[in-house]
Amino acid sequence: MLNFSRFALLSALLLATGAQAADAGKPAALVNGVAIPQSRVDLRVNVAAAQGGQTDSEELRKAIREDLINLEVLSQAADKQGLDKQDDTKQQLELARQSVLASAFVQDFVKNNPVDEAVLKQDYETMKSRVGDKEYKVSHILVATEDEAKAIAKRVKKESFAKVAKQKSNDPGSKDKGGDLGFTVPSNFVQPFGEAILMLKKGQISDPVQTQYGWHIIKLEDTRELKVPTFEEMKPRLEQRRKQEAVQKAIADLRSKARIE
């Protein structure tokens, strides 16, 4: 499966450097007569900024220049030894070429298919209605069978819910925390679980609830008002999701038209 996040990062870098045409001026370095263009240094600076949050500086550029010189020296040595003719090397070079081209496609597609502001606002309103205006602090105990769940339901009426969860729950993510799932919204869970939360009052424990993961005993620990982020705060995430969906659809369309044997 294609990793969109990798392509998204590469595409962002391409967008950031798209205005930097090949530097026709003095190269960053010459290695055995082979020029390392300044634009390659610029690209690596942008990569460092995007991945590591580093700022453009003379020190950073010097370090990148030295690294590129090392790469050129090593690649020239590999060529002289005929390593570029090895099957594994050929495959890796081809994969690198494909990755760059795929990134260029994503960058071009995103540029030419901007997300409509009205669509993002509709997504925001849908999100607001889905999450509601309240958060729920929930604990649960997950077991494999209904009989186990019924037995647990009887125990937690007399014993500490957290203690029983630590002893009996099959959920590795919450077991050691006494079943605590923290504050969240019901729509973040599968439907039967989320619906059960909405039926509970603070401190109340549910009857056994079945989901595809097994059987749950759910306790509503607390509730609090949910402060929904503003549209402007959510816009980057909403836009990124729409872009991901659009790119995945474009890939699916290309696959449907391709002759794959």
Write out residues in the chain with pLDDT < 70, as ranges. Answer: 1-25
The reported pLDDT for the residue numbered 18 is: 43
Structure tokens that stand for 145 in this block: 């069978």
Provide the pLDDT for residue 52: 80
Q: Please report the beta strands in 3-57, taking only residues with DSSP state E, as ranges in sequence order.
A: 29-31, 34-36
pLDDT for residue 173: 96
Largest alpha-carbon pair distance within the chain? 82
pLDDT the model gives residue 17: 41
Which residues sit opposite 139 in a β-bridge?
A: 180, 219
Q: Residues 221-253, buried b or exposed e (16+ Cβ, 10 A)?
A: bebeeeeeeebeebbeebbeebbbebbeeebee
Which CATH number describes the domain made up of 133-225?
Answer: 3.10.50.40
Which tokens in the block code for residue 23?
């530097």
- Model confidence pLDDT, tens digit, residues 10-64: 444 444 444 344 445 689 999 999 999 999 999 999 989 888 888 899 999 999 9
Q: State residue 72's pLDDT score.
A: 97
Rounded to two decimals, the pTM is 0.64
The pair of structure tokens assigned to 57 is 């500086």
What pLDDT, on a 0 to 100 scale, did the predictor assign at position 78? 97
- List the Cα angle 230/233/237 in 5-degree steps: 120
Q: Where are the domains of the chain?
A: 4-112, 133-225
Q: For strands 34-36 and 29-31, give the pairing.
A: antiparallel
Nearest to 66, CA basis, from 89, 46, 40: 40
